Amino acid sequence: MYLGIDLGTSEVKAVVIDAQGSLVALAGSTLNVARPHPRWSEQAPADWWQATCDTVAKLRTQLGSERFGSIRAIGLSGQMHGAVLLDERDEVLRPAILWSDSRSAPECAELESRAPRLHGIAGNLAMPGFTAPKLLWVARHEPQLFARIATVLLPKDWLRLKMTGRKVSDPSDAAGTLWLDVEGRNWSDELLAASGMRRDQMPALVDGSAVSGSLLPEVAQAWGLRSDVIVAGGAGDGAASAVGIGAVKPGDGFLSLGTSGVLFVVNDRFRPNPGRAIHAFCHTLPQRWHQMSVMLSAASCLRWFCRLCSVDEKSLLAEIEQLDEQACNNAPLFLPYLSGERTPHNDPYATGVFHGLTPEHQRAALGYAVLEGVAFGMVDGLDALRAAGTDVAELSLVGGGARSAYWAQLLADALQVRIVTHVGSEAGGALGAARLAWLADGGDEAEVCRKPAQQALYQPDPARHAALQARLQRYRAIYAPFAPLHGEGH
């Protein structure tokens, strides 16, 4: 069997699959994000390790020690861009700065100035979520700590260090640092130097389906596994989710509605489009790349609204589904920029907006506006991908938002593409990580990376698509007048 561990922002999730690829166990442990200052997001790596060990123990209890002990390989998936800073003894120097942290916005302009070839080499704009600007911020604000940095690791790769004693990453996760030559799939000395970093401070790189090391004896013993269990290179969470959903061939794509929202399409070559805030990254499998549009708040917008209104998601969705077409057309508009935005605005200071509120609006209408606003954000992402020469007719839907049939149909209508949900899609990046473990153990890609069974198909409704266009144009018009009000001090 194969174990996949996904280090998310809000949870460590892990799955076990058998030799036929069937999901046999799933468990998770929650995580909290510290926000000590506005626009800061941090986590203690020690909490990741505790949550990982707790989750592994839950799987072992589910399966029984003997069955759990038959695991042959482990794969890793994780939140991208986070900066784990280690000293020469591999001790953590400070809490990890996460992907959702936007404190380094001023350093992005500095990085662009220091590295004029950044866009062509890294394939991306400098954004506060990426790793490199975080290190410029540390150098400026914590210079004594910066001087002690011996190694920078991404979150899942710090877990690997704890598991194997080895410092290794994979191209898909490394592409999110702004230190990688994305086309060449190797570190760029030019980009590292622009951040005051060196190649010897970086981990080694292996493909996600390659072997990166074996479990340390003490970890194997604590987890009830053999010491010859191998650990695959793994992937950043987007690429891992792609492997889990079977998006491994050029043209394959998926839409993820998690804390953030991701529209991911596989390419056979490096195709950057930084001008539209599209991410061009390496896929975790050899000689493949992918493009990605990213919204920083997606299903998290719905969770936020439910907390605000003291209602659970299931009840709110039931209320929304009772709305008729006229009520939806008269609902307010919602900009889903609760944590700033990447695609298409690249604006870390953007904020959420309800526009068009009247005394007649009830909770359900605002809830619909939230679902629609996230869908319109995805439309903006797809338009940016199309401007880069990439188009899709069908997308797999994964993440927490995939549980809502109403939202899935709204996405199909807004995007005018077929939306497919799959059995077991809630496993997400953890399933992809387990599949990468299977590949590292000698599995055949065609067998391992097949698409999971289809659960439901949502065909776009041309009439509903046409009706949404007027609201989409109003949605797009709202952002520009508010943009000058964003930024420091507002």
Residues acting as catalytic residues? 237
As beta bridge partners, residue 354 has 334
Q: How many whole angstroms separate alpha carbon 331 and alpha carbon 320?
A: 11
Q: CB of 278 within 8 A of CB of 295?
A: no
Contacts of 91 (CB under 8 A, 6+ apart): none
Q: CB of 299 within 8 A of CB of 197?
A: no
Q: CB of 63 within 8 A of CB of 25?
A: yes
Task: Please state whether beta strands 418-422 and 11-17 pair in parallel, antiparallel, or not at all (unpaired).
Answer: unpaired
Q: How many whole angstroms separate alpha carbon 45 and alpha carbon 399?
A: 24
Six token digits for residue 145: 């700590």
Burial label for 303, CB within 10 Å (0-12, 13-18, 19+), is: middle
Asked whether residue 345 is marked as a ligand-binding residue, the answer is no
Residue holding tokens 């996405």?
A: 411
Residue holding tokens 């049939």?
A: 405
Output the CA torsion 28→29→35→41 (10° steps).
Answer: -40
Residue 29, number of CB atoms within 10 A of its CB: 19
Burial label for 67, CB within 10 Å (0-12, 13-18, 19+), is: middle
Six token digits for residue 50: 């505790």
Per-position b or e across 128-150, b if 16+ CB within 10 A of its CB: bbbbbbbbbbbbeeeeeebeebe
Pick from 339, 384, 350, 371: nearest CA to 478: 350
Q: How many whole angstroms separate alpha carbon 153 and alpha carbon 367?
A: 39
Q: How many whole angstroms separate alpha carbon 174 and alpha carbon 238?
A: 12
Q: How many whole angstroms separate alpha carbon 402 and alpha carbon 396?
A: 9
Element (H, E) at 289: strand 289-295
The conformation of residue 392, written as its DSSP 8-state character, comes to -
Entry field: residues in the chain: 490
How many CA atoms within 13 Å lie on the side-chain side of 231?
A: 27
As beta bridge partners, residue 353 has 335
Asked whether residue 81 is marked as a ligand-binding residue, the answer is yes
The amino acid present at 469, given as its one-letter code, is Q
Report helix, strand or coil for 256.
Answer: strand
Residue list for the binding site for substrate: 80-81
